[in-house]
Structure 1
Amino acid sequence: MKKYIIPIIACGLIISATSCKKFLDLKPLDSYTENTFYVDEKGLQGGLVSCYDALQTDSLYGNNLLTLGEIRGDNLTDNDPGSGAGVRNSIEVFSETSANNILSGAWQGHYKAIYRTNIVLDRAPGITMSDATKNQIIGQAKFIRALSYFNLTRLWGNVPLVLTVQKTDEARANTRATSAQVYQQIIADLTDAASKLPTTWADAQRGRATSYAASALLAKVYLYQKRYDLVASTLQPIVNAIYAGSVLSLVPQTTTFPSGLKTSKDIIFAVLYLNGGVKEAVNQDNRYRNNNNTNTITIPQAIFEAADNRRALVAPTGTGARPGKFNSPVSNSTEVSGDFPVIRCADVLLMYAEALNEVAYGNAEAFRALNAVRTNAAATPKTAATLTTQNDFRTAIYLERRLEFALEADRWFDIVRTNQLGTVFPGIPAFRSIYPVPQAEIDNVNNKTGWQNTGY
């Protein structure tokens, strides 16, 4: 019997070991993985939703971009410099270091959005579905990836350009692409997105990126590159649509803010937050007010005309109340709704006016676009008699952008883009126009040479 027992036991051990290995290799049956989720249209659509979701977080439009794009500028003052070990205040007073966790949060938040879009773009070609729907998904993913990279290069200059789904070892081998290379990819993504996306969505899908959004963001990218002829030609069809008023239109801020963001024709793209959503409520509430009265709005009221309907919406306050622009309806004591506008019709018109003026002063369409925004705000129109030179017009545009987009996380970027850093903040060195690369990101790569920005 022994000669039979030993082989049977051995065979049993082999079977047992093989079974154990298979058991240990099993993926959880009650949860999705990347390999089991992105296998059909439903999974791909769910993955796309996660891309939009990445924009909502505190790391991005829920909070940190307000610090990096607005508190860094001259519209707000931090009343609580010791909060969070001073990380927010250090950004305001130009003393931030590569250890600042707001910087690391924003860096990681953007790359999380990019990672999710890369998964969608990687899996979409292999999924059976209608070409029209597939193209719309691809277009939206490319829009979100482009927006993420636009923010990254505005914040840090040279950044890793990741266009595939990477494993850890691959990520550790990343290097920083030049800002020019990043912009080239952004332009490619937005050009393709604009060709694939519809001009509008049904109400049930409102908030998704449109071809207008892709083209408007593309024009903004050209504006940052000072390619003014391309800004004007890219924006002209959108400007015509705004003037027509059927799909897009300027809306006086007394009605656009504080309510109506979700349905306003002025909004070309916004990061949406659900009515009464608890998580979204926390994000929105943190923007300009918390229980410690963190921020005081310091934009001078004197730069507004007395009748300007935008003035009261950004009135200085140290009481802790939200500014009128974001004083959204409250569902209960803790829940609010507050979408965050990223691209508006007013932005399109002011970019159009700026570009036309840079090409040649005196263009009647430049005055028309500028005055459309001013008239919408009940401000006095400008004429060639009041703006007699190209520089006068340029100065008026820069001021108008500050008035129109106050508290919308664009002020700091405008200061840098228009070379006003030394004027608005005398004595601040030029290297502070971009932020230090988070040290945690440098620590994670193999070759650390050339990763930190000059001056930090």
Structure 2
Amino acid sequence: MKKISCYILVTLSLAATSCKKFLSENDPNRTTLGSYFKNQNDFDLAVNGAYNQLRGLYNNKSAWVMGEMRSDNTHYDYKSSDQAVATVNRYNVADFLDDKYNNQTPGKWNAGFNAISAVNVIMDHIDDIQLSESARNSIVGQVKFIRALAYFDLVRFYGGLPIYKRAPLTREETYIPRASVQEVYDLIVADATDAATKLSATTFPQTGRATKGAALTLLGDVYLSLKKYDQAEAALKQVTAMGYSLFQNYGDAFQLNNKNGKESIFEIQFNTGLAIPQANVDASVYNFLPRMANTTVVTGVNYNSITNTGGFNTPTQDLISAFEAGDQRLDASIAIAEGTFNATDDFTATAVKSAVNYTPPAGKVGRPFPKKFLHAHTIGNQTNDNWPVYRYSEVLLLLAESLNQQGKSGEALTYLNMVRQRAFGDALHNITTTDQTALQTVLLKERRVELAFENKRWLDLVRTGNAITVMNDFGVKQKAQYSYLQSGSYNVTQNRLLFPIPNAEMLLNDKLTQNPGY
């Protein structure tokens, strides 16, 4: 009866003495954040969870829709019979017709803040147990790198952001206003700097975790964006002394057996061998192929990409033409699916051809697609490719740009031509101009072809002040080529350099302000 009485008293919220001890005991089956972190392994698992959030930030649909389709690098296969909300919303991002209700751009916001939240939980509890100095430094260094990376991505796409340095515990701490862009960058610099101090130097083979080299690369990229070119140079030159190098052939950088290799600075990890494959595989290439009932000719695996995957991030002729004659990166980056479109704008492939000097034969069309992420796999829509965030070639190009912007154009050529010599297989195509303006134009074009489909192009256009001119000019050509484009498309103004704050966030948090024009 005593046990029954306790349950009755609990239900009635009575404070009988016989039940006080029962009421104050912790439920051993209930885990709270305050009781979770009991050893280093618990922190390591939590850090893995933070890394996992980066998958949604860098290679989900929002990432390439906003980073590549927004630019002159890629477009889409228009299908008049498919006017599903997601499809139209992706079209609208590419055509500069998106608004605050668009359902393709909030994914990046959500993934970024999920990563930040995961980091903050770890930081809030890092002192719950005694860790060795090396273990603590490794954990803090990794998660601060992740937080800096997430905020750096978000601030460039959305502008000023709410800053969370710890996990909010109340409504007042959760629903806060946007900080200024400068305040966000201050946090990014502080986190990346601390990460670089705490993380160990890169060792090979790499594990896929953040290293000092990754943190310094991020810091150099941030400083370049802030036009602090001398500080960018200092950070990036440290990376050049850490043992990284370029693979002999450009395409080798993306081969599965070279994941986390000598050219990798940081990449998002995917592994088809892990449990719950949908969460651990990269299916990007299936989004980039034409809509096909059977992808076997292209991928080696039968998969139907018509209904909800294919037809996006299609390389433009403008991009293909940007590759110079003899540039081996074209063949490694882009391939042609040759075949025919039917009356409903779905594709049947009969062959895969090189994009170099391609001309379709009579009765066939050639549809380009990003080739660098296509490698052998056994299950449709599930590939084992990692997603590159930073490669050593980008370190060299970032360093060359930071030097050129300081008037050190002669020195900049050394790093630029290291990338070009790999691309052409010789030194005959080295750049020689030391005119600062001309070299900056060369560097922007070099980044375009070297980093194609790695979600850099739109950010580069905005960062260098070229987005409005380049995209308006590109839009004129697009509208002349594609009759389905609306007259108001490609009207690129200053307001279009940022994306809208997701409307759902605006409804939840009345302290947020929307970006101008939305």
Quick check: TM above 0.5?
yes
Name the counterpart of 2:516: 454
Name the counterpart of 1:16: 8
SS, match of residue 240 in structure 1: coil
Contact 2:287 2:311 in 1 (8 A): no
Name the counterpart of 1:250: 246
Shift of the 362–201 alpha-carbon distance from structure 1 to 2, 3 Å rule, reads closer
Greater percentage in strand: 2
Name the counterpart of 1:53: 52
Name the counterpart of 2:363: none
SS, match of residue 443 in structure 1: helix
Where do 1:22-101 residues align within 5 Å? 32-57=31-56, 60-80=58-78, 82-83=83-84, 84-101=86-103
The one-character-per-residue Cα deviations of 1:152-211 (angstroms, maximum 9, x if unpaired) are: 1001011101111113503443110011000000000000000100112575x7000000
Offset of residue 28 of structure 1 = 7.4
Offset of residue 405 of structure 1 = 0.2
- Return 5+ residue gaps in structure 1 as ranges: 1-7, 242-246
Offset of residue 338 of structure 1 = 0.8
Offset of residue 90 of structure 1 = 0.9
Counterpart among 172, 197, 202 of residue 170 in structure 1: 172
Shift of the 101–130 alpha-carbon distance from structure 1 to 2, 3 Å rule, reads same
Offset of residue 431 of structure 1 = 0.9
In the alignment, is residue 354 of structure 1 matched against residue 388 of structure 2? no
Contact 1:297 1:316 in 2 (8 A): no
In the alignment, is residue 445 of structure 1 matched against residue 509 of structure 2? yes
Counterpart among 271, 294, 297 of residue 311 in structure 2: 294
Question: For 1:50 and 1:394, how far apart are their aligned partners in 2?
Answer: 39
SS, match of residue 141 in structure 1: helix
Normalising by structure 2, what TM-score?
0.78
Counterpart among 498, 508, 515 of residue 434 in structure 1: 498
Question: For 2:244 and 2:431, how far apart are their aligned partners in 1?
Answer: 25
Offset of residue 275 of structure 1 = 3.7
Name the counterpart of 1:222: 223
Question: For 1:24 and 1:335, how far apart are their aligned partners in 2?
Answer: 50
Offset of residue 20 of structure 1 = 8.0
Offset of residue 302 of structure 1 = 2.7
Name the counterpart of 1:281: 281
Once structures 1 and 2 are overlaid, which stretch shifts more, 26-35 or 388-397? 26-35
Question: For 1:237 and 1:97, how far apart are their aligned partners in 2?
Answer: 42
- Return 5+ residue gaps in structure 2 as ranges: 14-18, 292-304, 338-348, 350-366, 473-490
Look up the equivalent residue of 2:420 and give its one-letter code: R
Once structures 1 and 2 are overlaid, which stretch shifts more, 104-113 or 82-91? 82-91
SS, match of residue 266 in structure 2: strand
Offset of residue 26 of structure 1 = 8.6
Where do 1:204-243 residues align within 5 Å? 206-241=207-242
Contact 1:357 1:366 in 2 (8 A): yes
SS, match of residue 206 in structure 1: coil
Question: For 2:192 and 2:150, how far apart are their aligned partners in 1?
Answer: 12
Offset of residue 122 of structure 1 = 1.0
Contact 2:260 2:267 in 1 (8 A): no
Question: For 2:387 and 2:12, how far apart are their aligned partners in 1?
Answer: 51
Contact 2:266 2:391 in 1 (8 A): yes
Look up the equivalent residue of 2:213 and give its one-letter code: Y
Offset of residue 233 of structure 1 = 1.2
Where do 1:27-426 residues align within 5 Å? 32-57=31-56, 60-80=58-78, 82-83=83-84, 84-201=86-203, 203=205, 206-241=207-242, 247-251=243-247, 252-277=249-274, 278-279=277-278, 280-281=280-281, 283-289=283-289, 291-292=305-306, 293-295=310-312, 296-298=314-316, 299-315=318-334, 317=336, 323-363=370-410, 365-378=411-424, 380-384=428-432, 387-426=433-472
Name the counterpart of 2:361: none
Question: For 2:128 and 2:273, how far apart are their aligned partners in 1?
Answer: 38
SS, match of residue 372 in structure 2: helix
Contact 1:38 1:47 in 2 (8 A): no
Contact 1:70 1:76 in 2 (8 A): yes
Look up the equivalent residue of 1:438 and give its one-letter code: P
Offset of residue 286 of structure 1 = 4.8
SS, match of residue 17 in structure 1: helix
Contact 1:62 1:283 in 2 (8 A): no
Once structures 1 and 2 are overlaid, which stretch shifts more, 306-315 or 254-263? 254-263
Look up the equivalent residue of 2:233 and give its one-letter code: A
Contact 2:37 2:128 in 1 (8 A): no
The one-character-per-residue Cα deviations of 1:19-39 (angstroms, maximum 9, x if unpaired) are: 886989998755744233223
Shift of the 12–351 alpha-carbon distance from structure 1 to 2, 3 Å rule, reads closer
Contact 1:313 1:324 in 2 (8 A): yes
Offset of residue 55 of structure 1 = 0.9
Offset of residue 312 of structure 1 = 1.2
Once structures 1 and 2 are overlaid, which stretch shifts more, 288-297 or 141-150? 288-297
Offset of residue 388 of structure 1 = 4.7
Contact 2:68 2:453 in 1 (8 A): yes
Q: Provide the alpha-carbon RMSD of the alignment.
A: 2.7
Contact 2:156 2:459 in 1 (8 A): yes
Shift of the 145–206 alpha-carbon distance from structure 1 to 2, 3 Å rule, reads same
Normalising by structure 1, what TM-score?
0.88
Q: Identity of counterpart residues, as a percentage?
A: 30
Offset of residue 128 of structure 1 = 1.2
Contact 2:270 2:282 in 1 (8 A): no
Q: How many residues align?
A: 436
The one-character-per-residue Cα deviations of 1:297-342 (angstroms, maximum 9, x if unpaired) are: 1153332223211101333646688522101221334432110010
Greater percentage in helix: 1
